[in-house]
Chain A
Amino acid sequence: MSVFSSKAEKVFIFAFFFIALGIPLFFNENTFYVNKISTMLILSIFVMSLDYLVGRTGLITLGHAMFYGLGGYLFAIMIPEYEVVNFWLYTFYVMVASGVIALIVGFIVLRTSGIYMIMITLALAQMTFYFFADSTEYGGLDGLFIYLKPETSMFGLNFLDLDNENHFYYLCLLSLFNCYVFCKVSLHSRFGRVIDAIKENPERATALGYNIFHFRLVSYVLSSSLAAYAGYLFSLQYGFVNPTMMSWEVSASALVMAILGGLGTIFGAILGVFVYESLHYGIEHMTQYWMFWMGSLIILMVLLLKSGIAGLIEQLVGGKRK
């Protein structure tokens, strides 16, 4: 039985990654666009992790950017300032550290539901924002700098030079691919079966003997660690972290992107990010008040498009299967 939920998904994924592989070659010397797309790939990982949590596990959070920011901050704090560290080792550290924090936050947050969960996640993200913004040792509103990019050697073999924009691009692409595969595999697994059941009918799932709190907590920790990984990549790309990475605007726009792309589809996250960011840049070129138009588009989307762009595409391409 196929892991792809629909023909549209299969087509999109193949097309996307095929085209994405050729991007650096296409843009040749122009690293500006390669960098822009790298950022969108990183954002896709972040939004995909959010879709996992909101779209598949059914937990609505407005504070996901907290982990995005934490990924960058944890890395910046853990590394010695002027030393080159190992990328893989610190990936492990960052994800474990953020996972532990997510475990604690999850315990607080997952005992609530609905509107209260939305409020609490937003408030906790705001708390983290202020923790860093008001701090003196973590750079306050200016944030922290990452002076030296890590090296990527593993078992003595040096893979990529993260200062090279094309190499970094392929790292992001590979990461997105892994993220996608992990999300799809885990959601198609025994664990995923329970997650789907809990989302559709938590009362029934409990009556069947599942401890839904545990499953939700696992999902929360996983998606938060993924978000942190995305933030970590972002901090590597630009060489700094600052509190705005954790702002409510980032959480809210990520949610918009997830819904725009098609909530629950996982691949829709990529779609949502590229469409939203394209609109963002497009409108921003015309007016500095792009938020006005974006807000209007969002409202139109809520009123007209019920299952996001992925849903629209699925209708056009057809062939949905479960």
Chain B
Amino acid sequence: MSECILQAENLSKHWGGLKALNEFNIKFYDKSLHSIVGPNGAGKSTMLNILCGTYPATKGVILYRGENITGLKSYQFCRKGIGRSFQKTNIFKDATCLENCCIAAQQRVGSSFNMFKSKHSSKHVTAIAEDALEQAGLLKQANTKASAISYGEQRQLEIAMVLATGPQVLLLDEPMAGMGHEESLIIIDLLKSLKKRYCIVLVEHDMDAVFELSDLMTVMVDGQHLITDVVDNIRANPLVQEAYLGNDDEVF
């Protein structure tokens, strides 16, 4: 089994009296895809946001490669190697796809305080950006404005930007949200190839995709961890079926 790259211990998040996340324990392994599923309001997005540093945890510890990164500022999480994509498309709409990835790549390459070298002068940055676009299948759209590409392609761009930062962990928040069947297949193929190299944490509602891609699945209910296991065991588990009873959007 590959190494445990990201780990949460007793992670809790309280918003005033509301316990969005309660004593959550989980381990994510390198070169695998681990899905997080659960009914609406289960706390999936909250957990994702804490793992990438957007929200601070109320209690608990996050370990990245054994290092405690819990107190770090949000921008530092990405620098450590934890990249995230957003549920609601969050790209630089006025820039080209290539530029979107260049912005991401430049952070990794550095010298961002250089005021005299033109932004187009680094071949290294451009190379990383083009590589990320290629991995995401968007190279042909490199010079198109991000606002001009289709919704599905924008979701691909989200992922391309994350890749350009050179992460080790990819936290993907519903990358297939609002996508049709055809478009979803593109993302599924992309994730299949990416999981050979990265540790992917996937929050998704598209259960077909989840079953096809996951090496491990975690089911969450009401901010609590219910079960973590391989796909077949999850499907058969009565507790999980009970958690989803009455819920229309998930079908086993």
Show the binding face of A for B, using Cβ within 8 Å.
1, 185-186, 188-194, 196-197, 200-201, 203-212, 215, 218, 322
Q: Which of A185, A186, A197, A215 contacts B92 (CB 8 A)?
A: A197
Complex A-B, nearest 3 residue pairs according to Cβ-Cβ distance, in ascending order? A209-B78, A186-B115, A193-B119
Would B52 and A207 count as touching, CB distance under 8 A?
A: yes
- Chain A residue with Cβ nearest B85: A207
Would B92 and A200 count as touching, CB distance under 8 A?
A: yes
Min C-beta distance of B203 to chain A, whole Å: 15
Min C-beta distance of B238 to chain A, whole Å: 39
Would B90 and A201 count as touching, CB distance under 8 A?
A: yes
Q: How many residue pairs at the A-B interface have CB separations less than 8 Å? A: 93
Residues of chain B from 174 to 232 with CB closer than 8 A to chain A in the complex: none
* A190-B106, A193-B103 known; A209+B120 contact, CB < 8 A: no
Q: Which of B94, B106, B122 contacts A194 (CB 8 A)?
A: B106
Q: Which of A190, A193, A201, A211 contacts B75 (CB 8 A)?
A: A211
Report B235-248 CB contacts with A as 1/0, cut-off 8 Å: 00000000000000
Would A194 and B118 count as touching, CB distance under 8 A?
A: no
* A193-B102, A200-B92, A200-B93 known; A207+B115 contact, CB < 8 A: no
Would A185 and B78 count as touching, CB distance under 8 A?
A: no
Q: Which of B73, B95, B112 contacts A190 (CB 8 A)?
A: B112
Min C-beta distance of B108 to chain A, whole Å: 8
Residues of chain B from 100 to 138 with CB closer than 8 A to chain A in the complex: 102-104, 106-108, 111-120, 122
Q: Which of A189, A208, A210 contacts B114 (CB 8 A)?
A: A189
* A1-B120, A194-B103 known; A206+B74 contact, CB < 8 A: yes
Would B78 and A189 count as touching, CB distance under 8 A?
A: no
Would A191 and B86 count as touching, CB distance under 8 A?
A: no
Residues of chain B from 40 to 80 with CB closer than 8 A to chain A in the complex: 52, 54, 73-79
> In the complex, A190 Cα to B120 Cα: how many Å?
8
Contact of B91 with A by CB under 8 A:
yes
> In the complex, A218 Cα to B106 Cα: how many Å?
18
Would B90 and A204 count as touching, CB distance under 8 A?
A: yes
> In the complex, A193 Cα to B119 Cα: how many Å?
6
- Chain A residue with Cβ nearest B81: A209
Min C-beta distance of B25 to chain A, whole Å: 25
> In the complex, A186 Cα to B118 Cα: how many Å?
8
**Pairs A–B under 8 Å by Cβ, sample size 23:** A189-B118, A190-B111, A190-B114, A191-B113, A191-B115, A192-B115, A193-B99, A196-B95, A197-B103, A200-B92, A200-B93, A203-B90, A204-B91, A206-B75, A207-B54, A208-B78, A208-B165, A209-B79, A210-B75, A211-B75, A215-B112, A215-B113, A322-B94
- Chain A residue with Cβ nearest B119: A193
> In the complex, A207 Cα to B159 Cα: how many Å?
12
Would A207 and B86 count as touching, CB distance under 8 A?
A: yes
> In the complex, A186 Cα to B116 Cα: how many Å?
6
* A204-B91, A209-B75 known; A185+B106 contact, CB < 8 A: no
> In the complex, A200 Cα to B94 Cα: how many Å?
8
Residues of chain B from 155 to 176 with CB closer than 8 A to chain A in the complex: 161, 165
Chain B: interface residue total (CB-CB under 8 A): 37
Residues of chain A with a CB closer than 8 A to B120's CB: 1
Min C-beta distance of A12 to chain B, whole Å: 22
* A188-B119, A189-B114 known; A208+B104 contact, CB < 8 A: yes
Residues of chain B with a CB closer than 8 A to A1's CB: 118, 120
> In the complex, A205 Cα to B79 Cα: how many Å?
12
> In the complex, A189 Cα to B79 Cα: how many Å?
22
> In the complex, A196 Cα to B92 Cα: how many Å?
9
Contact of B84 with A by CB under 8 A:
yes
- Chain A residue with Cβ nearest B111: A190
Would A210 and B107 count as touching, CB distance under 8 A?
A: yes
> In the complex, A186 Cα to B108 Cα: how many Å?
20
Residues of chain B with a CB closer than 8 A to A207's CB: 52, 54, 74-75, 78, 84, 86, 90
Would B92 and A190 count as touching, CB distance under 8 A?
A: no
Residues of chain A with a CB closer than 8 A to B94's CB: 200, 322
> In the complex, A205 Cα to B104 Cα: how many Å?
8
> In the complex, A196 Cα to B103 Cα: how many Å?
10
Min C-beta distance of A242 to chain B, whole Å: 34
Would A189 and B75 count as touching, CB distance under 8 A?
A: no
Residues of chain A with a CB closer than 8 A to B118's CB: 1, 188-190
Interface centre among A1, A186, A192, A197 (most CB of B within 10 A): A197
Residues of chain A with a CB closer than 8 A to B73's CB: 211
Min C-beta distance of B200 to chain A, whole Å: 17
Would A208 and B119 count as touching, CB distance under 8 A?
A: no
Min C-beta distance of B152 to chain A, whole Å: 19
* A207-B52, A208-B78, A211-B75 known; A189+B103 contact, CB < 8 A: no
> In the complex, A218 Cα to B115 Cα: how many Å?
11
> In the complex, A215 Cα to B161 Cα: how many Å?
20
Min C-beta distance of B110 to chain A, whole Å: 9
* A200-B92, A200-B93, A207-B86 known; A212+B75 contact, CB < 8 A: yes
